[in-house]
């Protein structure tokens, strides 16, 4: 039985994405229904962890203080609807860096596993881009694609990891996770 954990990408899953990056708390805007979806997971006993590439830090588009303020806004917004995000893992590196944490590499997911002392086999991971799903699938997570953010294009491009399930948005993905948990 997989642990009661769900791993979410941030931009395009929880909040609206931008080709110019989310560079300030003002630019962070939740996708309708996403915050309540996180609260529903919490109320059903799930821990929620965010795994997000944030290369804007490595590109000097914003600094760590700004990233922390964006995440404080997200924590506060989730708390206002009765939910919580248990941890945020991020990769600040650019695409051309040799790190092992930038999705699609599985380093961030391995760190989640080690930090929480949890086997990620079967743990749902929700993303809107192929690299989100690949990173999770590499460590045995159940990949769930949402059509928000880049998700519609990701679905159309194909080559999704085996067993990927597709949902309209985070709320629909959470409906599926919770329904599956009661079976």
The residues annotated with a catalytic role in the active site are: 9, 11
Q: Are strands 165-167 and 142-146 parallel, antiparallel or unpaired?
A: parallel
d(CA 136, CA 155): 16
d(CA 75, CA 83): 9
DSSP calls for 38-88: HHHHHHTT-EEEEEEE-HHHHTTSS-HHHHHHHHHHHHHHHHHTT----EE
Return the C-alpha torsion angle 108, 149, 180, 182, nearest 10.
90
């Amino acid at each position: 039985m997989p642990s009661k954990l769900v791993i979410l990408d941030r931009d395009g899953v929880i909040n609206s994405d931008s080709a110019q990056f989310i560079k300030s708390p003002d630019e962070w805007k939740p996708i309708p229904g996403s915050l309540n979806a996180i609260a529903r997971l919490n109320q059903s006993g799930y821990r929620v962890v965010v795994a997000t590439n944030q290369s804007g830090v490595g590109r000097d588009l914003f600094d760590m203080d700004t990233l922390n303020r964006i995440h404080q806004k997200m924590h506060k917004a989730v708390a206002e609807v009765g939910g919580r995000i248990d941890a945020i893992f991020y990769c600040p590196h650019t695409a051309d860096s040799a790190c092992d944490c930038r999705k699609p590499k599985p380093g961030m997911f391995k760190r989640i596993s080690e930090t929480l002392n949890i086997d990620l086999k079967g743990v749902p991971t929700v993303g809107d881009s192929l690299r989100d799903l690949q990173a999770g699938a590499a460590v045995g997570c159940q990949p769930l694609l949402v059509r928000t953010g880049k998700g519609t294009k990701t679905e159309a491009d194909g080559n999704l990891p085996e067993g990927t399930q597709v949902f309209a948005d985070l709320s629909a993905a959470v409906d599926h996770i919770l329904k599956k948990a009661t079976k």
